[in-house]
Amino acid sequence: MSKRIYITGIGIISSIGNNVPEVLSSLKDCKSGIGEITLFPTLHKGLLPMAEVKLSHNQLTALAEKERAEHYTRTTLLGMVAAKEALRSAGIDHVNDRRTGLLSATTVGGMDRSEVFYQEFVQNPDKGRLRDIVNHDCGDSTERIATELGVRHLVSTISTACSSSANTIMFGADLIRFGKADRMIVGGTDSVTRFTLNGFNTLMILDKRGCHPFDEHRAGLTLGEAAAYLVLESEDIVEKEGKQPLAELTGYGNANDAYHQTASSLDGTGAFLAMSKALKMSNLKSSDIDYINVHGTGTENNDLSEGVALERIFDPVPLFSSTKSYTGHTLGAAGAVEAVIAILSIQNRMIFPNLLWSTPMKELKIKPVTEILTDQNIRHVLSNSFGFGGNNSTVILSKLT
């Protein structure tokens, strides 16, 4: 890269913790956040598990330091909590002392409220509270988070399904590298909704037991909710301010599988291309990668396609795991959630395992890390995020040198 990009702050809220220390503690304790559905009424309660943030709407509003809970969507509140933690972690008090932008990803936006609105609206088009629908679109949560942080310089939202927040990391870094911003807050937020649950259920890819990625008997993914943000800053600022960054973003790649709207190609073309581009940009050899946080949703199709692509690129395939067995699949937030976990791996010299794994996949020679590994010198982590529509992205996070 022409200009180095550092990560100087991280923030996260997910089913395994409401902040970075809580998430780290659950990761170390191998404690999954997957459990029963409690947040909304649904036929699927008790039949399908989910990874919820363990806070009611009112509790979440309080954690986000807001009042009048009814004016906020869950997606917005989750985002506010994680984005504020990221800024604090980067030691930024005045967001506008430099050209600071916010790029946020989401796949559901304000759907947790719009689906409530719509129940009344379909009965009678004059019914339904407008405050439940005005936050529907994806830009709404981003603008509310930006306003909360005081960000004005540059604000936008990306939605490329399950790779959304990985793409915010990429575009955020590009904006800094090409002089359009000095620092970028990047990441994503998605709450669980009845809409998403039923949508994924129509595709019959939700595992009744909870996901167990890269297992021969895997039966689908488990939906989760989360928000996670990273603060990206240029080399110049880090040097000027004498900051101690958490990690360096050394490479990234975006490619499209161009195969099927909801299925990945059998030879993992998109995954192969995204990883290859990221490796090329970072000037790293495949053998330099010490750990891969795989996309690993637990669907039959993803894990096979991703596994084939891994075996095509790496020989041998480095240590890898899917932390979705902890957090569930947090969709638009997943790329940023897993980037935060990658940084925690580097910092704590640990590899967090696949939980609930038992049997190797018969098509592959590889198997994931299934017990926590400590004292690992992790120099470079490759993190994959693949989405519906073949939107595949890879980022590489590196230990400071």
Contact residues for another protein (CB under 8 A)?
42-44, 106-107, 109, 114-115, 118-119, 121-122, 125-126, 128, 130, 133-134, 137-140, 142-143, 146-147, 151-161, 167, 171, 174-175, 178, 180, 194-195, 198-203, 254-262, 269-270, 273, 387-391
Task: Quote the DSSP letter at residue 168.
Answer: H
Shortest CB 180 distance to another protein, Å: 8
Instruction: Say whether 366 sits in a helix, a strand or coil.
Output: coil
d(CA 65, CA 63): 5
Nearer to another protein among residue 22 and residue 174 (C-beta): 174
Between strands 100-105 and 226-234, the pairing is unpaired
Tokens of 230: 């990273």
Nearer to another protein among residue 18 and residue 305 (C-beta): 305
CB 36 within 8 A of CB 98: no
Nearer to another protein among residue 329 and residue 399 (C-beta): 329
- Please report how the helices 74-89 and 111-123 are oriented relative to each other, as an axis angle in degrees rounded to 10: 170
Nearer to another protein among residue 118 and residue 379 (C-beta): 118
Shortest CB 246 distance to another protein, Å: 25
Tokens of 34: 């997957």
Nearer to another protein among residue 153 and residue 212 (C-beta): 153
d(CA 168, CA 50): 25
Nearer to another protein among residue 176 and residue 361 (C-beta): 176
Instruction: Please provide residue 164's backbone torsions phi and psi, each rounded to the nearest 5 degrees.
Output: -50, -55
Shortest CB 40 distance to another protein, Å: 11
Instruction: Say whether 227 sits in a helix, a strand or coil.
Output: strand
Shortest CB 230 distance to another protein, Å: 18
d(CA 69, CA 77): 9
Nearer to another protein among residue 154 and residue 372 (C-beta): 154
d(CA 4, CA 223): 35
Q: Which of 118, 138, 115 is nearest to 40 (CA)?
A: 115
CB 298 within 8 A of CB 322: yes
Instruction: Please provide residue 76's backbone torsions phi and psi, each rounded to the nearest 5 degrees.
Output: -65, -45
Among all chains, which residue has been given the structure tokens 């161009």? 258
Nearer to another protein among residue 168 and residue 345 (C-beta): 168
Nearer to another protein among residue 147 and residue 287 (C-beta): 147
Residues paired with residue 255 on neighbouring β-strands, in sequence order: 392
Shortest CB 47 distance to another protein, Å: 11
Shortest CB 19 distance to another protein, Å: 27
d(CA 170, CA 47): 37
Shortest CB 384 distance to another protein, Å: 16
Question: CA separation (Å) from 214 to 146, 302, 396?
Answer: 38, 9, 21
Nearer to another protein among residue 195 and residue 216 (C-beta): 195
Shortest CB 315 distance to another protein, Å: 23
Say which residues have a Cβ less than 8 Å from residue 283's Cβ, sequence separation at least 6: 251
Shortest CB 379 distance to another protein, Å: 25
d(CA 331, CA 294): 14
Shortest CB 220 distance to another protein, Å: 14
